[in-house]
A = this chain, B = another copy of it.
Amino acid sequence: MRIAVDAMGGDYAPEEIIKGTLMAAEKWPNVQLILVGQQERILPFFVGAKPANISLVEASEVIGMDEHPANAVRKKKDASIVVASRLVKLGEADAVVSAGSTGAQMAAALLGLGRIKGIERPAIGTVLPTAEGGKLILDVGANLDASPEQLCQYALMGSIYAEKILKIPNPRVGLLNIGSEEGKGNELTQKAYSLLKVAPLNFIGNVEGRDVPYGRADVVVCEGFVGNVLLKTAEGLAGVLFQLIKEKITSNLIRKLGALAVKPGLKEIARMMDYAEYGGAPLLGVNGISIICHGSSKTKAIFNAIRVAQECIDVRLIEQIREGIPKS
């Protein structure tokens, strides 16, 4: 099993990416990890010794967060994410992991790997921490003008992912909407509802924003704009609340003493709500495994994304999706 890791992508690249890769190399000696990027920036981390299961592939260019994704991917043929995706295309790697520009990763996957037959548009699925464990939400921003048919494809792909990777049997699929009853919502969700109702899925109907953090659906299906807003709002609010808790429970001596006692409990919650535990988000619908990491990923998130990539390879995710999509 060989996993290409984009060493140049992310706010903390290359250092944290390399550290996460080293951690993974140690944990899984049988997995071959390929660090793709500018060698002169990667090599300094390997003076002395390099683990036998890490190899390096040169990519001279880097795509920045502010570049137009598709244009940059077309122009910079030697960018790390382009080279890493090409390794998958050529069969020299089984998956790619990146914390760089999501748009560029998607463009590189679409141009390099193409779509799975029958899938109109890929979707980014993110595992969102909830009160009931990690639940999949898709799309969180791959596609901003989805059709009802595409939402239905997301549901099918998401259901397969939740079952095979998140190990949730017969996952409950919910349609993100602004009311619980059938007939609620905009044209897109009303039409998607009628398609989902008859699809080979465990469709539980509409779910509202408030249902998502409670984990009332295992797979939450939505259009990319609203999914992106939901994801980032949850991230922001969790951040604000933890910051406030830190301030308010240490604002005087008595509270400080109390804080010492409750800290382990709060840490448990922080761990439950930490995206880094879930590693990465799969780009679902492209013809190859491409794991998207949060831009601010550090060692643990990269390590976990490599774990997710392995699981996707293990369960033959692409073949599973190919078989699960109705031929039309």
On A, residues with C-beta under 8 Å from B are: 66, 130-131, 141, 144-145, 176, 178, 181, 185-187, 189, 208-214, 222, 224-226, 228-241, 243-245, 248-249, 251, 254-255, 257-262, 264-266, 268-269, 272-273
A268 CB to closest chain B CB (Å) equals 5
Q: Is the interface of A mostly helix, strand, loop or mixed?
A: helix
Chain B's closest residue to A190 (CB) is B144
Contact status of A210 and B225, CB under 8 A, knowing A261-B255, A269-B248: no
Contact B232 A210 (CB under 8 A): yes
Contact status of A272 and B258, CB under 8 A, knowing A141-B178, A209-B235: no
Contact A265 B240 (CB under 8 A): no
Contacts of A241 in B (CB 8 A): 238, 241, 269, 273
Contact A229 B232 (CB under 8 A): no
A-B interface, 8 closest residue pairs, ranked by CB to CB distance from nearest: A258-B261, A209-B232, A210-B236, A248-B265, A209-B233, A213-B237, A249-B262, A258-B258
Q: Which of B145, B176, B244 contacts A229 (CB 8 A)?
A: B176
Interface centre among A141, A185, A226 (most CB of B within 10 A): A226
